[in-house]
Structure 1
Amino acid sequence: MPEYLTPGVYVEETSFRSKSIEGVATSTLGMVGATRYGPLPHVLTIADPGGAAPINLPVVTNTDPPLVTSYTEFERAFGGLGNVSERTNYLALSVRAFFGNGGRRVYIARAFGWPRDGQGEIDQAQVDAQFATRGVATGGAEAAQWRARWPGLAGREMKVDVTFTRGKNIVVRGADAQGVETARLTTVREFALVELAALVDGRPPQFPDDQLPDPVNLRVVLRDPVDRDLKFEGAGGGLEAIPPGQAGFHIQLTVMVTWADRVDVYTELAIDPRHPRSIMKVLNQQDPADEFALVWLRQIGDPTAAQLLTALLAADSQGYLTGGADGTDVIPRDLEGEEVSPNDPRKPATGLFALADIDDIAIVAMPDTASFADEGLRKTAVDSLIGHCERQRYRMAVVDPPIESSISEVREFRSQFDTKYAALYYPWLEIVDPNAVPDPGSPVPKLMLPPSGFVAGIYARSDIERGVHKAPANEVILGLTKFERNVTYGQQGVLNPEGINALRFFEGRSNRVWGARTLSSDPEWKYVNVRRLFIYLEHSIDKATQWAVFEPNNERLWASIRQTIEDFLLVTWRTGALMGTRPEEAYFVRCDRTTMSQNDLDNGRLICLIGVAPTYPAEFVIFRIGQWTADANRTT
């Protein structure tokens, strides 16, 4: 009990109700795969163009896969639908299908095929070649370098333009009739709207505005450490003033980065790194003002502000970046990724491991698994996807079959897996190719896509409109022209018992998901909605009862936990997620001496037993009808 040592009145707050449980989100998707561009967490060694020893340079600092809430956001962060290394960009197309079918939130973990050495490790000597660059030279030597923030051929399509403006706020230094310099104007105390470390061009008051700054006349505004007045740092590094008869014009830069239809404009930039809007800070590789900035400026050596400005404004320093590469083809190891290094805190998780710490992901898909021609690679990739969901416990995987699979081939593929945390959908879907421009009079180009993006969107749509307890089946699929093959009634009679969910076309009812089974041989976890309902219940209870850890393990705590969980299950039952006409028929919660022995109590264990009666989908709707003889003389 609290301490009461000093006499007085004590007002204390207490609670007379049980703590509530808030249901977790179930419609958030996590995807892993290759993209044209975008965030890619990794720590790599890049050689210093200035000749210094190689340095550890993080490719990005945002180690968590970014959240995307629309396809427009995805395009800005990861590029469009174009091919990756001449391979179909299945991830981008699947994200597009996800949002087109009702999805709202997806985390993207980009995978990249880094060149590897003979031991299978990333070949650091080839890392730098994966990034597009453009040199910024002055006097024949590089003063800086524009670099793509992430690797990929897409960097070659990025164009950088730098312009400058002269501010209207000026200081003019003059002299009196005897030629004595006017003392009042020896500092820049009245140089309004100019911050410390701003760049100033000292020139005669009248001259063309578009004339390039002369490095000799450039000054940096600093504070004198002695008299604390604002003064100018000249080319020699000392604090001085603008010569008599000249004016000081504030120089600011504008950087425009163009990539396809995307144009990013960064205004009011300064050169000196001490300025709050220094170009080195705004377009920094590690922590830029724009999370999805395309390029960054890397300073080489120690150029002065005047030298760097001159180099940036030079025509040869602007234009398209060059170089860059898409690495090698992505393999299952790239998709699975690596865990956080225990020895190097700067090395983040990649691939599937990068999704592990994002708590709100409930669905996981990896469309690139279906692109592997080799059967062994394909199975390895799917195994890593299933293993990820089983380790995380609160996630469901959507598995894609191989392209152009026959009924026998998809059954053989399915027979390799047995898990309650994944579901397989068949066949692939045909869409109009969004990258191709048809010739007049020619057929519209088509493209085949794996079903995971479409199905994940239907999962999300069903959860949002009905709830996680509703089987994500008998739902219309949007955004396709037709299925790769038509699954007939008889063929589904073979596929359905084996846990292969068919996608079928019904005349007058469009294209629909016509199956809701997992890849489990356990009849308790046969249905997708039952598995996902328990994921929802378990995850919600797990998150909302963390307060109970280290509380006194007695009857009062047991009663509080029982009430908390019963209140949550009551609300769940009222939504139609559980069976029973009364709450007593739908669930029970036990947390007392019957669930714990004295040994459990002595070892700090609290055991709560929860039973729920889930609703199963009406997979087979049967109407029995027969003839009835109406006998007038029959009595009842």
Structure 2
Amino acid sequence: MPSALTFPGVYIEEIPSGVRTITGVATSITAFIGRAARGPSDADTDGPVTVNSYGDFERSFGKLDPAYPMGYAVRDFYLNGGAQAVIVRLYKTNAGKPAKAAIKIANLPLEAASAGAWGNKLRARIDANVSADVAARYGLASSDLFNLTVRDMDSGAQESFLNLTVKESPRRADRVLKAGSSLVRVAASLTLPATTVPTAHQDLSPSDIAGGKTVWDLDKSSTGVAPADQAADSAALDDAAYQGDANAKTGIYALKKVDLFNLLCIPPDVRDGSTSPAVYQTALAFCVERRALLIVDAPADWSSAGGITQNNNQALTALGLSGDAARNAALYFPRVLEADPARGGQTDTFVPCGIVAGVMARTDVQRGVWKAPAGLDAALSGVQGLAVKLTDGENGMLNPIGVNCLRSFPLIGPVVWGARTLRGADLLADEYKYVPVRRLALYIEESLFRGTQWVVFEPNDEPLWAQIRLNVGAFMHNLFRQGAFQGKTPQDAYFVKCDKETTTQNDINLGIVNIVVGFAPLKPAEFVVIKLQQMAGQIQS
């Protein structure tokens, strides 16, 4: 009703419909954790970094390098259909060396934008080719302004920044470089604003030009620092570097800075190594908290099906990924063989986590998150072979204990041939035995968690409950129409209950509204049984 009826006439009022559309969240944003040659690290305010292609990854974190397996996993993710990834670069100080390279230039100490030895090849140059009009616009003298050019002598990348100053101004150097440079920052040793303006270098003389010199050859341009003081790449990572600190948001917990991720990959720190069970255990607990799935790579010493199952499956038990939390993890065996462009195309062994994440992303787009990311359509792109060739019998040893196999078939090639979580052992009979069922449940949980935030602080009575049933029911019905559930009718496929039976008067007094949502998930057809029978001829009797 209008707030005030003061004059005779017609009043118009818009009445809310009660429709609050619930939008489904993304299902295959994949987080990768590990070392890289460059880029923001977990401790930096601008990390983690979201990338939308492998080209984005290379620009921020460097090219493929055999020393950094994470880069290969990210490449495999995009080769197999991945769309969006979140990169957490870990950096561990190396033997007391500086993390970030220093760049010596007159009166303007600079440092590399991110940690690593890549910054030792940065050079910088200052000139004073500035306009008096520009200086007047900022209320400064011409002598207060300078131009800065920075070049990466390794990649050839170059950045130029005009009309910088160390005095208070919209063009203050530290702010401009932080906002616009991917190469350098003003070092913390310089407190701005300052009074001493950096000295400009002279232009090249005719004799310099005739001698073929560039500004980067001259002593007037920065030449880096002494080798003993140069920055170093990250030392090898230990468990503590991966596990990080939840309060400081480092290590795995750097992903707390990210709004959403659905899959988590932790490649080993070295190519022929294995990610520690302790790291996986920490990651699994975090995945449960964030409603994500952990993709576990089989340890490097798993070389046969018999080796995994011997001594009552001791190798699998040693991972320590058990209990209800294991619903949020899936393990894949064996590792894959791929060509390494960084080693002239030589074939080497790689972990499959990035490939599997890409297959999941591709399956989500083509069929939906409720479809098992396995089968003949789950082909492994970029793979030349498998480190272990499994037979049907060996596959039959691993599948019942929840180990997903990668298989290679004639004419078909390598494919994902398993879709169980680590609670998928037949002995456990868990309701979240299958990867697609668990991922669908996580998708519904996250979508409803975000899509029902409007309910908080609303009057807790039947009008609110009706709105909840309407909006949650519309979301679930849309999934039913897409084929996400069993059943021919909505009544067979799902239900949404929110009324005086789910929310008692005592709940209302405590400020609680209870919403019960049920669904009938699709289960993958793991075993296809064909029964063949001869038809007996008609017998006259």
Q: Do the aligned residues in 2 keep the contact of 1:30 with 1:363 (CA within 8 Å)?
A: yes
Of 358, 377, 392, 1:457 maps to 358
d(CA) in 2 for partners of 1:410 and 1:39? Answer: 38
Higher fraction of strand: 1
Of 126, 134, 138, 1:196 maps to 138
d(CA) in 2 for partners of 1:269 and 1:434? Answer: 42
Q: Which moved more, 1:465-474 or 1:356-365?
A: 356-365
Q: Which moved more, 1:365-374 or 1:401-410?
A: 365-374
Q: Which residue of 2 aligns with 1:77?
A: 60
Deviation at 1:531, TM superposition (A): 0.1
CA 1:358 to 1:304, structure 2 compared with 1: closer, same or farther past 3 Å? closer
CA 1:297 to 1:20, structure 2 compared with 1: closer, same or farther past 3 Å? closer
SS of aligned partner of 1:315: coil
Q: Do the aligned residues in 1 keep the contact of 2:146 with 2:198 (CA within 8 Å)?
A: no
CA 1:399 to 1:446, structure 2 compared with 1: closer, same or farther past 3 Å? same
SS of aligned partner of 1:479: coil
SS of aligned partner of 2:109: strand
Q: Structure 2: which amino acid aligns with 1:517?
A: R
d(CA) in 2 for partners of 1:370 and 1:381? Answer: 15
CA 1:605 to 1:193, structure 2 compared with 1: closer, same or farther past 3 Å? closer
Q: Do the aligned residues in 2 keep the contact of 1:525 with 1:531 (CA within 8 Å)?
A: yes
Q: Which residue of 1 aligns with 2:19?
A: 18
Of 278, 286, 299, 1:388 maps to 286
CA 1:404 to 1:110, structure 2 compared with 1: closer, same or farther past 3 Å? same
Of 364, 387, 408, 2:264 maps to 364
Deviation at 1:154, TM superposition (A): 2.2
CA 1:319 to 1:559, structure 2 compared with 1: closer, same or farther past 3 Å? same
CA 1:149 to 1:357, structure 2 compared with 1: closer, same or farther past 3 Å? closer
Q: Which residue of 1 aligns with 2:445?
A: 538
Q: Which residue of 2 aligns with 1:31?
A: 32
Of 122, 128, 134, 1:159 maps to 122
Higher fraction of helix: 2
Q: Provide TM-score, normalisation by structure 1.
A: 0.74
Spell out the pairing of 1:338-377 with structure 2 (5 A cutoff).
338-341=245-248, 349-368=249-268
CA 1:32 to 1:404, structure 2 compared with 1: closer, same or farther past 3 Å? same
d(CA) in 2 for partners of 1:597 and 1:281? Answer: 56
d(CA) in 2 for partners of 1:37 and 1:385? Answer: 24
Q: Structure 2: which amino acid aligns with 1:265?
A: E
Deviation at 1:465, TM superposition (A): 1.5
d(CA) in 2 for partners of 1:192 and 1:89? Answer: 46
Q: Alpha-carbon deviations, 1:113-155, whole Å to 9, x = none?
A: 2369xxxxxxxxx4x6222223224xxxxx2323112222222
CA 1:281 to 1:609, structure 2 compared with 1: closer, same or farther past 3 Å? closer
d(CA) in 2 for partners of 1:522 and 1:269? Answer: 68
Spell out the pairing of 1:386-465 with structure 2 (5 A cutoff).
386-392=284-290, 394-406=291-303, 407-411=305-309, 412-415=314-317, 416-418=320-322, 419-437=326-344, 444-465=345-366
Matched, 1:295 2:164: no
Q: Do the aligned residues in 2 keep the contact of 1:364 with 1:398 (CA within 8 Å)?
A: yes
Q: Which residue of 1 aligns with 2:158?
A: 264
Q: Do the aligned residues in 1 keep the contact of 2:404 with 2:419 (CA within 8 Å)?
A: yes
Q: Alpha-carbon deviations, 1:412-443, whole Å to 9, x = none?
A: 33223221000000111111112113xxxxxx
Q: Structure 2: which amino acid aligns with 1:114?
A: T
Q: How many residues align?
A: 506
CA 1:603 to 1:403, structure 2 compared with 1: closer, same or farther past 3 Å? same
Percent identity of equivalent pairs: 31
Q: Do the aligned residues in 2 keep the contact of 1:255 with 1:267 (CA within 8 Å)?
A: yes
Deviation at 1:359, TM superposition (A): 2.8
d(CA) in 2 for partners of 1:387 and 1:371? Answer: 25
Cα RMSD (Å): 2.9
d(CA) in 2 for partners of 1:300 and 1:357? Answer: 29
Matched, 1:559 2:460: no
Q: Which moved more, 1:601-610 or 1:483-492?
A: 601-610
SS of aligned partner of 2:431: helix
Q: Do the aligned residues in 1 keep the contact of 2:2 with 2:13 (CA within 8 Å)?
A: no
Q: Which residue of 2 aligns with 1:129?
A: 98
Q: Structure 1: which amino acid aligns with 2:286?
A: H
SS of aligned partner of 1:305: coil
SS of aligned partner of 2:245: coil
SS of aligned partner of 2:40: coil
Q: Do the aligned residues in 2 keep the contact of 1:271 with 1:308 (CA within 8 Å)?
A: no
d(CA) in 2 for partners of 1:264 and 1:613? Answer: 57
d(CA) in 2 for partners of 1:381 and 1:266? Answer: 42
Q: Structure 1: which amino acid aligns with 2:138?
A: L
Q: Do the aligned residues in 1 keep the contact of 2:52 with 2:83 (CA within 8 Å)?
A: yes
Q: Do the aligned residues in 1 keep the contact of 2:94 with 2:233 (CA within 8 Å)?
A: no
d(CA) in 1 for partners of 2:117 and 2:483? Answer: 51
d(CA) in 1 for partners of 2:269 and 2:285? Answer: 14
Deviation at 1:199, TM superposition (A): 6.2
d(CA) in 1 for partners of 2:339 and 2:399? Answer: 29
CA 1:315 to 1:507, structure 2 compared with 1: closer, same or farther past 3 Å? same
Q: Which residue of 2 aligns with 1:105?
A: 84
Deviation at 1:282, TM superposition (A): 2.6
Q: Which residue of 1 aligns with 2:481?
A: 574
Q: Do the aligned residues in 1 keep the contact of 2:40 with 2:115 (CA within 8 Å)?
A: no
Deviation at 1:568, TM superposition (A): 1.1
Long gaps (5+) in structure 1: 43-59, 117-125, 138-142, 170-187, 201-218, 221-250, 342-348, 438-443
Deviation at 1:337, TM superposition (A): 1.5
Q: Do the aligned residues in 2 keep the contact of 1:369 with 1:400 (CA within 8 Å)?
A: no
Of 98, 109, 114, 1:150 maps to 114
SS of aligned partner of 1:255: strand
CA 1:481 to 1:576, structure 2 compared with 1: closer, same or farther past 3 Å? same
Of 520, 530, 537, 1:630 maps to 537
Q: Do the aligned residues in 2 keep the contact of 1:421 with 1:531 (CA within 8 Å)?
A: yes
Q: Alpha-carbon deviations, 1:258-295, whole Å to 9, x = none?
A: 25335132242434444544544332xxx3324xx122
Of 364, 379, 390, 2:277 maps to 379
CA 1:28 to 1:192, structure 2 compared with 1: closer, same or farther past 3 Å? closer
Deviation at 1:404, TM superposition (A): 4.0
Deviation at 1:476, TM superposition (A): 0.3
SS of aligned partner of 1:19: coil
Q: Structure 1: which amino acid aligns with 2:292?
A: R
Deviation at 1:371, TM superposition (A): 6.0
Q: Which residue of 2 aligns with 1:469?
A: 370
Q: Structure 1: which amino acid aligns with 2:315?
A: F
Matched, 1:504 2:411: no
Deviation at 1:623, TM superposition (A): 1.4
Q: Do the aligned residues in 1 keep the contact of 2:94 with 2:232 (CA within 8 Å)?
A: no
Deviation at 1:303, TM superposition (A): 6.2
